[in-house]
A = this chain, B = another copy of it.
Amino acid sequence: SIDGQRLWDSLMAMAEIGPTEHGGSCRLALTPEDAAGRRLLLDWCESLGCTWRVDRVGNLFIRRAGQRDDLEPVAMGSHLDTQPKGGRFDGILGVLAGLEVLRTLADRDIVTERPLVLVVWTNEEGSRFAPAMVASGTYAGAFSVESTLAREDRDGVTFGEALEACGYAGESPVGEPRLDSFFELHIEQGPVLEEEGETIGVVTGVQGMRWFDVTLAGQSAHAGPTPMRYRRDALAAAARLIDRLQAHALGDESGDTKVTCGCLEIVSASRNVVPGDVKLTIDLRHVVENELDALQAYFEGLLNEVGETCGVTVSQERIWASPVVEFASECVAAVERGAREQGLKYRRMMSGAGHDAVYVSRVAPTAMIFVPCRDGISHNEAEYATPEDCAAGTQVLCDAILERANR
């Protein structure tokens, strides 16, 4: 069985790269911190005798040889990038659990039939470069390599430039190696497991999500003499949009409707200027695809209505749509068996967050394992998962990987 203390020590060592004020991590994708995190992992893996390669969008494939190297590898992994004020577990746990599996096998001199691959996917968070999971998406053919390399961060730096600058612009073709299957361990990032007193979430799929860039163009004007009724206040319109969207989502008794405005910017803001131009982002999610369609239609209608009421010209672009995903039943079953055989309390559940597994599931049988996180909090420096839960999830991952690699 895996070594929970060693796993924890690796998590804490990784957290020393890009630490934030309140105990979280800041390793935005393709920054020097991201590169330092990858280097630390590679040092650990090289000392186990693993080999590695990097593809053209920076995805890192770390390989442990099997008895039958002609067979496609069984893969595990997640991401090392974080939010600007992110936690120490989101993504990192899935990668370092994979490392722990490799170390456990090395300790026991176990060589699996199929080779194993530990994958670090680039820019999962979507915080520096939108959308999220863009590099696993490119691997799976959802985005072209060229479009991914051309994506820009807020400062206009392209993904390709950032990749070069941080030293992880690889040469290996995107889409290789092909995988037999993929398993991703992750913190739940929501409150369900903790509340229900369960240790393992057997993830059966992922809710759909859509991202929008919205612009509101009114007219800047003086805050003093401009009568309220004359104003074409882009921020007042944005406020109304956000408030009504919130009310709509809160009104869904099932709790399945999720709306978030994560970024909002006033162009040339000044205290005594009625805002003329506002840009904002909207994130819509639902577990049922046609409910998500309805949510999008509601949002679009509301945006137009608010624009008309406030005398503001509105426009929006859907920059990303990730449909509802169902994972491969044989992989889900392998995870469930692992949890049951370890005697752990578990539940089948959908993921509310996107994960690299979403895209990988398009090209290889895939499943995910969740462990609880404190108060359901994630994308926050305070994110926390107990050493025991991290170890339990890693054990389930190890069991599923071994079953699959030796079948």
With A239-B243, A243-B239 in contact, is A224–B272 under 8 Å at CB?
A: no
* A235 B227 Cβ-Cβ under 8 A: no
Measured CB to CB, the nearest residue on chain B to A266 is: B264
The verdict on A223 contacting chain B, using a C-beta distance below 8 Å, is yes
Contact of A352 among B226, B285, B377 (CB under 8 A): B226
* B270 A263 Cβ-Cβ under 8 A: yes
* A127 B271 Cβ-Cβ under 8 A: yes
The verdict on A258 contacting chain B, using a C-beta distance below 8 Å, is yes
Chain B positions within 8 Å of A240 at CB level: 239, 243, 246
Contact of A223 among B236, B255, B262 (CB under 8 A): B262
Chain B's nearest CB lies how many Å from the CB of A8?
A: 23
Chain B positions within 8 Å of A354 at CB level: 224, 272
The verdict on A10 contacting chain B, using a C-beta distance below 8 Å, is no
With A126-B271, A235-B264, A271-B211 in contact, is A228–B249 under 8 Å at CB?
A: yes
Chain B positions within 8 Å of A249 at CB level: 228
Size category, A interface:
35 or more
The verdict on A221 contacting chain B, using a C-beta distance below 8 Å, is yes
Of the listed stretches A275-283, A329-337, A399-407, chain B binds A275-283
Chain B positions within 8 Å of A351 at CB level: 224-225
The verdict on A361 contacting chain B, using a C-beta distance below 8 Å, is no
Using CB atoms and an 8 Å cutoff, list the residues of chain A in contact with chain B: 83-85, 125-127, 130, 132, 188-191, 207, 209, 211, 219-230, 233, 235-236, 238-243, 246, 249-250, 252, 255, 257-264, 266, 268-276, 281, 283, 285, 351-354, 376-380
Q: List 13 A-B contacts (CB under 8 A).
A: A84-B269, A84-B270, A85-B220, A85-B276, A190-B224, A222-B379, A227-B255, A228-B258, A230-B376, A235-B261, A240-B243, A260-B274, A263-B270
